[in-house]
């Protein structure tokens, strides 16, 4: 568990998620899904039961190469990062993350804190040697954040997103952990 002070004076806590967070995570994802055009899912598309979400979160805790990270301010979940490592021995060193932050907390450095925590965790766990992500090609704020943390552009996947009658490309970015 790590505590950070935000620019607005509020204190946030970063911690690993657990099954007890399931109900709040579902509420959080339902909120955040309607706030951003950059997510792979939209409002009304995330509908697990509490039991399903609890098992999903607990599944991360069973794997040494996966992480379910929550950013919390007071009693509110305000950000989430999930990292999934490879399932087989030949790719267990490699994984990809997804990240979300409530819109009212954009610009306070929460995304940076979550990704920095992931990088530190990856170095300490001794399994992860590569962190990858996909980011919509027009999401300049996110791309700038990832580049500032050392992620390199590795390629582009065309027509990855389809939203509001338009296709969007994604960039694949990666960070080698040595």
Which CATH number fits the domain that encloses residue 43? 3.40.630.30
Residue-wise pLDDT for 76-114, tens only, equals 999 999 999 999 999 999 999 999 999 999 999 999 999
Name beta bridge partners: 94.
130
Maximum separation of any 2 CA atoms in the chain, in Å: 45
Domain assignment present for residue 153? The answer is no
**Tokens standing for 138?**
């027009």
Count of the separate structural domains present in the chain = 1
pLDDT > 90? residue 8? no
Quote the Cα angle for 112-116-122, to 5°: 150
Domain assignment present for residue 161? The answer is no
| Per-residue confidence (pLDDT) for residue 24, from 0 to 100 | 97
Domain assignment present for residue 174? The answer is no
- Global pTM reads 0.95
Quote the Cα angle for 140-120-99, to 5°: 40
Domain assignment present for residue 81? The answer is yes
Cα 80 to the center of its chain, rounded Å: 5
Residue-wise pLDDT for 109-155, tens only, equals 999 999 999 999 999 999 999 999 999 999 999 999 999 999 999 99
| Phi, psi (rounded to 5 degrees) for 171 | -95, 140
Q: Provide the domain limits for residue 93.
A: 2-129
Cα 79 to the center of its chain, rounded Å: 8
Residue-wise pLDDT for 19-77, tens only, equals 999 999 999 999 999 999 999 999 999 999 999 999 999 999 999 999 999 999 999 99
């Amino acid at each position: 568990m790590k505590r950070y002070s935000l620019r607005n004076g509020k204190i946030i806590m970063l911690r690993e998620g657990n099954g007890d967070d399931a109900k709040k995570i579902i509420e959080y994802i339902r909120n955040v899904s309607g706030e951003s055009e950059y997510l792979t899912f939209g409002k009304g598309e995330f509908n697990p039961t509490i039991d399903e979400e609890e098992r999903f979160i607990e599944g991360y805790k069973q794997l040494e190469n996966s992480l379910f990270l929550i950013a919390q301010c007071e009693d509110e979940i305000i950000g989430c990062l999930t990292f999934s490592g490879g399932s087989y021995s030949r790719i267990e060193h490699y994984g990809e993350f997804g990240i979300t932050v409530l819109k009212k907390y954009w610009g306070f450095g929460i995304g940076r804190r979550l990704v920095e925590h992931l990088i530190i965790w990856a170095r300490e766990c001794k399994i992860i040697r590569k962190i990858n992500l996909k980011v919509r090609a027009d999401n300049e704020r996110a791309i700038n954040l990832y580049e500032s943390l050392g992620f390199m552009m590795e390629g582009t996947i065309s027509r990855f997103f389809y939203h509001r009658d338009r296709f969007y490309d994604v960039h694949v970015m990666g960070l080698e952990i040595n």
